[in-house]
Homo-oligomer: A and B are copies of this chain.
């Protein structure tokens, strides 16, 4: 039977060829495994096609078919095959195994396994292990009110929906960090393998410690075809593919073929070899207490796409070709001959031998599966909220800046918050990690290294002692891939832990789509009763647009907030703390929250501080509010409202307020700051929203409002749509104007600098008429002078750089 794998790329047919030889299974086991496989495939077809007559006790007729045929067949067989072989080893070695399904739309493959091992019916009693249950089980698939064709949140044991391809491995690694006993068996689609995020995520082994962490066992499924193309990895030589995987740091074992009996033997011995190696590496590292990076084992499984379908229909290839990708025979509703082909094919799996007359899987097959939580689809890691323990969080107030002189004190809020993060790390050494794409130090968070260094399982050099901050036992995860960082973090929290991603604002758009997908995942989880809530996905965005003057135009895009704001109000939160103490308060809040995507925007540089800790907590609790100390409209209606959201934006808005107060002391200016962006929305549309009544008490109904915003101005208009006095709202923000500038010049280009704001105020206050024309001109001249000085010197004038609020509080 199984022969050695060959030299060049080959199609998937024939007797098994495998790296490891041997016949560990007896004939009886093979017989049962074949039966299980047939049951799996039968269930998959049932999901794709049937709404009635589930066991084909009657001849297959049109009325048994769904009206709209949806779903994917292509990768189902390979995934079922892999899952069932792991069952054998779970029983043999008492393993703790999670399954991540990478290939797109492969849900039938894994849902069939969950149904066969009984978990599905336990979770969804109406889809019981009988004819009626199977009918419902079939009908609900890709059917209104039912479940999708990915491993959606409704899928027991799934933490990875896979609607978008590329994240299976990074998610899988996220689940095994700090989970030393877990093996996450990960099907990697060969289509998915062509995506960038997947291609780089193979390198995750350089960040996996065999002592503290579990193991990922990837099965690269050389299914051969995508929607309509061969896959790259299935069409390079055997040697090239081996080199690639070895180069990524893995030890690939090959299992290739289509003949079932020999494939069972090959897969059984190969999977067992992999599990044994994993255990040996872990044992060695744990016994010697010496972490090392082994070449972790993995499997390349080459089977025909749509394995076990008819090879040809009407003279065109089906099994083993891209035509097997989705619904394998599409016209069964209109072509009676094809309906017959389908029936014959389904009957060839012999459902009557697999399920008893009640429609229940026969006992000898049931026994192939593990029991209880050892069943893959019942693994609690797949419903990670169950395992989640709240963080030990020190009192953030203790870390606050003291003796704040509002508008005068200049400090680095990010570096200070890092001390809080350091202690969060220290107090949660096995369930909190900080993630970031090589920017943690740059983002002023390096204080955390005192509690946990950067995880590094690559080679070490002598020079690393000079401030390298690397360790196999670190708590900070850094690779220059936003995709990998985000994927790890998602896997980590979905499996019940906590974390924070820190990233430059300029390039956070790199993971727009990943964050979208995660938002959709947690939103759907809210509709799935048995899903326990997981920690929020916390994203700290820093190195913000307003301090990207020197890096230039490429580094200027604050539009991630627009992408996030498009997601459901149930799951997204956006905070822009204006200073250090509010940053602490917001961070504490986010780390305690569940089931959100929290986005925190705060610059990493030193900035003016505004609020002492009590005021900061009060301000964050309200989410927005009037800053009395910066307003002079006490007891009266203001002439104008100056509002801000974002630290640099607040600084300039405050300076504008000071200019107005200095030059036009008779003006009444109210200063408002917004921390919690969604407070601006109507309470009808967002849980954090506020009533129109409260809105009016802050923003007035008839006074001009200048709103200096961190991001693109449109978002504020959107959030305040239909607010009373909305037409009085004049939003300033980044409007895609930038170059190599000083910070002041960048603000000026976008009309967000103090002078532009103050002049705008003068223009808007109708009662001033022309009386302030002289002041306006003075402001204009000061602006020009400042710009000119910046242009000549390459640095902003001192009075801009170190501006402070000139009015004492009392």
Contacts and interface: CB of A to CB of B under 8 A. Distances in A.
B235 A206 contact: yes
A509 B563 CA distance: 9
A740 B148 contact: yes
A321 B465 CA distance: 11
A480 B226 CA distance: 8
A143 B794 CA distance: 6
A276 interface: no
A226 B203 CA distance: 16
Contacts of A226: 438, 480
B196 A316 contact: no
A198 interface: yes
Contacts of A554: 148, 150, 152, 161, 163-164, 517, 520
A441 B227 contact: yes
A566 B512 contact: no
A182 interface: no
A19 interface: no
Contacts of A736: 523, 566-568
Contact of A791 (B145, B446, B484): B145
Interface stretch (A452-460, A575-583, A640-648, A768-776): A452-460
Interface stretch (A611-619, A628-636, A710-718): A710-718
A67 interface: yes
A506 interface: yes
A557 B550 contact: no
Which of A68, A161, A463, A553 has the largest number of chain B CB atoms within 10 A?
A: A553
Interface string A433-446: 00000111110001
Q: How many copies does the complex hold?
A: 2
Interface stretch (A208-216, A238-246, A403-411, A652-660): A238-246
A481 B196 contact: yes
A458 B236 contact: yes
A195 interface: yes
A52 interface: no
A331 interface: no
Interface in A1-42: 8-9, 11
A317 B463 contact: yes
A246 B551 CA distance: 36
Given A191-B438, A227-B438, A740-B148, A8 B236 contact: no
A302 to B, nearest CB: 12
A282 to B, nearest CB: 21
Interface string A347-382: 000000000000000000000000000000000000
19 contacts: A70-B550, A105-B551, A142-B740, A144-B794, A152-B552, A164-B554, A194-B200, A198-B200, A203-B232, A206-B232, A206-B236, A226-B480, A230-B468, A244-B247, A245-B247, A321-B463, A513-B557, A566-B736, A714-B714
